Amino acid sequence: MSNRKTEIRFTQPMVTIEREKLAQWQLSKIEKNRIKIETGVRVVEIGAGWIKTNSNKKIRFCYLIGADGAASIVRRSLKIPSKNISIALQYLIPNTSFCRLETYFNSKLFRSGYAWIFPHKNYTSVGCVCGSKYLSSKDLQKNFHIWLKRKEIDFSRGERQAFPINVDYRGHQFGNIFLAGDAAGLASELTGEGILPATISGETVAELILGEIEIAEKKIKEILSIHNFHKKTVNFFGKLGYLQGVAFQLTALLLRHKRIVKIFLEKIY
């Protein structure tokens, strides 16, 4: 089969926003007279009811929320392993000629993962993601460069970024310590999406602390339902090996039907 036949491309018009701008918007909603925000501070140690920062400052807590990403020190302090990790690589290139969000599924290069082209106002993010159990970071980068060359995408002036995505969920509440987002392993193993589950799980943790148990349990149930569906989907395609290309072709044909697309998107998001 030619490369063209083994690669599936999805494209659609979409609006994107930089993470930094989203974070600034979120910060603008905080009541600063009630909440103290410290930047440039790193937690280096966690004890029973206290944390220590890199400035040797000790802070006591009644509740601790670990929303500190895939390499969460809060998660590590709870001795919770992170064995299921996805790897994302991207180049931020100074090219604004792309105008549509594009995703590419190529089982020979990215196994159960995919590559993307996400246009922004002043640059374009071109990247890929795959579970580390299927490809090492070294092999993923090698395959990504092969794909970039085939697409004739110049990344020589791009800013290279690489980061882990924790998809290994093992719980979110441990006494008075909570985990949210990537720290809890709630990112999607299928799409790599982390902002939505991070936002919803953050709300859920707040509701648990405030005693709104029923609302919180409903939300976490919905998050986990989607998370588990994504996990099962990736495991299914992963077991197919090089037959993934055929499976992707069949999936693409099914997704031509609007009703199936609606059901699929409801499961994805």
Count of CB atoms situated within 10 Å of the CB of 67: 17
Query: How much is the pTM?
Result: 0.83
Which positions ≥6 away from 253 have C-beta within 8 Å?
A: none
The pLDDT value recorded for residue 16 is 74
Distance CA 202, CA 205 (A): 5
Residue pair 107/114 in contact (Cβ under 8 Å)? The answer is no
> Could you read off the pLDDT of 214-246 as tens digits, one per residue?
999 999 999 999 899 888 888 887 777 666 655
> Could you read off the pLDDT of 157-176 as tens digits, one per residue?
999 999 999 999 999 999 99
Distance CA 21, CA 37 (A): 17
The answer on pLDDT for 63 being more than 80 is yes
Average pLDDT over residues 183-207: 92
The pLDDT value recorded for residue 248 is 57
Angle at 10 between CA 4 and CA 13, to 5 degrees: 140
Count of CB atoms situated within 10 Å of the CB of 242: 11
The pLDDT value recorded for residue 3 is 45
The pLDDT value recorded for residue 1 is 35
Assign a CATH topology to domain 38-82+167-237.
FAD/NAD(P)-binding domain (3.50.50)
The pLDDT value recorded for residue 26 is 86
Distance CA 182, CA 68 (A): 8
Average pLDDT over residues 30-42: 86
Average pLDDT over residues 112-135: 92
Write down the mean pLDDT value for the chain. Answer: 86
Hunting for tokens 């919803």 — which residue is that? 200
3-state secondary structure the chain: CCHHHHEEEEEECCCCCCHHHHHHHHHHCCCCCCCCCCCCCCEEEEECCEEEECCCCEEECCCEEECCCCCCHHHHHCCCCCCCEEEEEEEEECCCCCCCEEEEEEHHHHCCCEEEEEECCCCEEEEEEEECCCCCHHHHHHHHHHHHHHCCCCCCCCEEEEEEEECCCCCCEECCEEECHHHHCCCCCCCCCCHHHHHHHHHHHHHHHCCCHHHHHHHHHHHHHHHHHHHHHHHHHHHCHHHHHHHHHHHHHHCCCHHHHHHHHHHHC
Residue pair 183/68 in contact (Cβ under 8 Å)? The answer is yes
Average pLDDT over residues 64-83: 96
The answer on pLDDT for 251 being more than 70 is no
Average pLDDT over residues 255-260: 51
Hunting for tokens 């709104």 — which residue is that? 212
The pLDDT value recorded for residue 267 is 53
What's the Rg (C-alpha) of the chain? 20
The answer on pLDDT for 177 being more than 80 is yes
Confidence grade of residue 153 (pLDDT, cut at 50, 70, 90): very high
Percent of the chain with pLDDT over 70: 86
